[in-house]
Amino acid sequence: MFPKDQKTAYIRIAEGCSLHCTYCIIPKLRGPYQSVPIEYILNDFNHCLNADIKEIILVAQDTASYGKDLQHSNMTLSRLLIQLAEKIESLNCKTRIRILYMNPQHINDALIQTIKRYPSICPYVDMPIQHACDDVLKKMNRPYTKTDLYRLIEKMRSNIPNIALRTSLLVGFPGEKENQFQELIDFVQDIQFDHLGVFDYSDSDDLASHHIKDHVDDMEKEARHHELMTCQADISYQRQQRYVGQVLDVLTEELSDDDPPLREGRTVFQAPEIDGLTLIAGHKVEQGKIYPVRITQAMHYDLLGEIM
């Protein structure tokens, strides 16, 4: 059972992780990647639809790896999404599907085409790249290069022009030199992600990365973190301006702390908890509904709008 006002729900489609990023303890703690059998996912999905959930968010350590561990099965994230999106189409309902945490090396053409094809799948890709310098990526054991990232992002944007891209980055990885950090800044400025989170490297002696030379001190990590976030704040502000004047579907949530309060909500381009909000004036706007909203102003992270 979901509380009456809950209109967003998460479905975990896999447990564990079989990748071996050198800075991460999760595979040791949670074991290898194990896809949840599709029958369970469909069951949870139908349960959400019956409860009138308006946004269903698929999560895993790497959602794009879904199905790779299932022997004698051709199941993939793309095929799973097709089943879910067609279920929504058959019911003619407005529920939307969002996918979080897709590692870039597993985002393939079929997945891009599926996101493009179904209106119920948010045109939103959350792709943790961690870094953009090839040497750092190699030491992190992330199996792609900066060139691969450029190609992938170009492909996603040319296929889905309105796509919102989110990434997360790790700063202060052992051995990260100033020029390598600047390479990351240049990449971020070049790509112009819509949303970006930054994490500072956190050391532990049971991590493979612990044994890499030249650890970055905490003050330097903090300075790099701050520099990246300052850079992203300007990018985010510029990216958000394209929504001004557009009419976007907004799923309404709680009231804000403003006086008078505004109704908070999210477009398909805003994930809960991690991205900005769309704020709507007017006390008659109800919670848990999808309204067409004209965006009137874009701030660094939030949008302001009015109901049409």
- What residues make contact with ligand SF4 under the rule CB under 6 A? 17, 19-21, 24, 26-27, 61-62, 103
Query: 159 to each of 111, 156, 215, 238, how far by Cα in Å?
Result: 11, 5, 40, 22
Helices (H), the chain: 26-30, 38-50, 77-91, 109-117, 134-140, 146-159, 178-191, 218-240
Between CA 230 and CA 237 the distance in angstroms is 11
| Cβ closest to ligand SF4, residue 139 vs residue 266 | 139
Least distance between ligand SF4 and beta carbon 103 (Å): 6
CB of residue 295 to ligand SF4, shortest distance in Å: 34
d(CA 3, CA 39): 24
Please report how close the Cβ of residue 22 comes to ligand SF4 at its closest, in angstroms.
9
State how far the Cα of 34 lies from the Cα of 68, in Å rounded to an integer.
9
* Nearer CB in complex with ligand SF4: 20/300: 20
Closest separation in Å from C-beta 142 to ligand SF4: 8
- Token reading at 132: 């953009």
Cα(10)–Cα(78) distance, integer angstroms:
18
Structure token pair of residue 300: 């660094």
